[in-house]
Amino acid sequence: MRLTISIVLGILATIGVLLMVGEVFGFIFNFPGMKIAGGTLLGLVGAYLVFSFGTIEAEEVGVLLLFRRPIQDLGSGLYFAPPGIFSVRKELGTIFQDELPADPEFVYQGDGNAPKGMFSPIRVKFGQPDPLDLTLKDDPYNVAMVVEVTPVVSWHIASLVKFLMVLRDVENCRKILSDKSVEMFGNEFANVTPAKATLTLGATSQRLETKLRSEMQNTGIDVDDAYVKPFQFSHELNKAVVGVSTAQQNALSVVHEADGKAKAVILGADAEKGRLLKTGLARANATGDITELIPDATTQAQTDALKKLSEIKGTLVLGEATTMLGIGNKEDK
């Protein structure tokens, strides 16, 4: 097509020159206004040619559009695109490095749907801790929670023709990369806590890069690198998580203290039981339970003395005073 247009422009330019000269193969002719017509035609051809050429910078990629349909990739340098039929679109050919969603200043940190012109951050729901894994039992982030996760993707446009036909523009490309990252995070983090996921963030980044490279083939872009940034917890979340952890530790301390006191009482009772049995001050049944307490010699002597004293009748003399004291049964007084 461009070759045909070039031939037609060449013919028109030749006609313009001939009209201005007024001679063809030695035949001289002259019509009123012929030179003006020739000059006008030549000027129009020249102007059309001027607007048909352009350049693509070294940091750009371009595509030739035929009636707005992309048909050919253009490298850097001079190009020929006759206007009205052809046009050229350019994009940056350098590497895009995006923290998804792109443009952090437009990321909406509030609750609910993001306002128009802003994007919601990538929020991922993490799973419950593994009850068999005790290595992180004291980590305050070893709990299920929702955390903002930020993937970083480096990519560049390899074919602007495919890029425009499949992805349309840079913003839509970023949205697709973000959606594919969210899809992977849902599978990756559903069964682990943030504390556990942090330990394997390098392997997760490698899987993210592999996934994006595979699924973005034949879209006109090449994924150069992808990784997951370390989780950044907000001040409010840090305060809440640490507060819960502190409360749990305090409650556990109280439980341990109460448990310790209970165990001390039990141990003390067991020790006393053993002492009574070993010293013969108690008797036990076949199961080891104490059934009878046996007083020691001193206690037995005091008991016997009180028993004998209860049988005495008479007068009790205390010093120089004589006191009538009836000791014994009431009917003997």
Average pLDDT over residues 191-195: 91
Average pLDDT over residues 143-151: 88
* Cα 12 off chain centre by: 65
* pLDDT number for residue 320: 57
Q: Is the pLDDT of residue 39 over 70?
A: yes
Average pLDDT over residues 177-187: 92
Binning pLDDT at 50, 70 and 90, where does residue 119 land?
Answer: confident
Q: Is the pLDDT of residue 181 over 80?
A: yes
Average pLDDT over residues 23-45: 72
**Contact between 132 and 206 (Cβ < 8 Å):** no
**Contact between 100 and 68 (Cβ < 8 Å):** no
Average pLDDT over residues 271-284: 68
Q: What are phi and psi of 270, to 5 degrees?
A: -65, -40
* pLDDT number for residue 115: 74
Which range, of 9-23, 25-39, 163-177, 194-208, averages the lowest pLDDT? 25-39
Which range, of 44-48, 99-103, 250-254, averages the lowest pLDDT? 250-254
Q: What are phi and psi of 149, to 5 degrees?
A: -120, 130
* pLDDT number for residue 4: 85
Say how far apart CA 293 and CA 272 lie, in whole Å. Answer: 12
**Contact between 225 and 129 (Cβ < 8 Å):** no
**Contact between 136 and 195 (Cβ < 8 Å):** yes
* pLDDT number for residue 157: 96
The overall average pLDDT reported for the chain is 79
pTM, two decimals, is 0.63
pLDDT tens digits, residue range 234-269?
655 445 444 444 555 555 556 656 666 667 667 667
Listing DSSP states for 127-164 in one string gives -PPPTT--TTTT-TT-S--EEE--EEEEEEES-HHHHH
Q: Is the pLDDT of residue 132 over 80?
A: yes
Q: Is the pLDDT of residue 133 over 80?
A: yes
Q: Is the pLDDT of residue 212 over 50?
A: yes
Residue predicted with more confidence, 179 or 270: 179
CATH class of this structure's domain 96-233: alpha beta
* pLDDT number for residue 325: 46
Please report, as a single letter, which amino acid is at residue 330. Answer: K
Average pLDDT over residues 133-161: 89
**Contact between 62 and 88 (Cβ < 8 Å):** yes
* pLDDT number for residue 32: 65
Percent of the chain whose predicted confidence (pLDDT) is above 70: 67
Percent of the chain whose predicted confidence (pLDDT) is above 90: 36
* pLDDT number for residue 315: 58
Nearest Cα residue to 53 out of 81, 84, 83: 81
Say how far apart CA 34 and CA 191 lie, in whole Å. Answer: 85
Q: Is 63 helix (H, G, I), strand (E, B) or coil?
A: strand
In the 8-state DSSP scheme, what is residue 59?
T
Q: CA 170, 176, 179 angle in degrees (round to 5)?
A: 145
Show me where the domains of the chain are located: 2-91, 96-233, 239-284, 305-332
Say how far apart CA 22 and CA 27 lie, in whole Å. Answer: 8
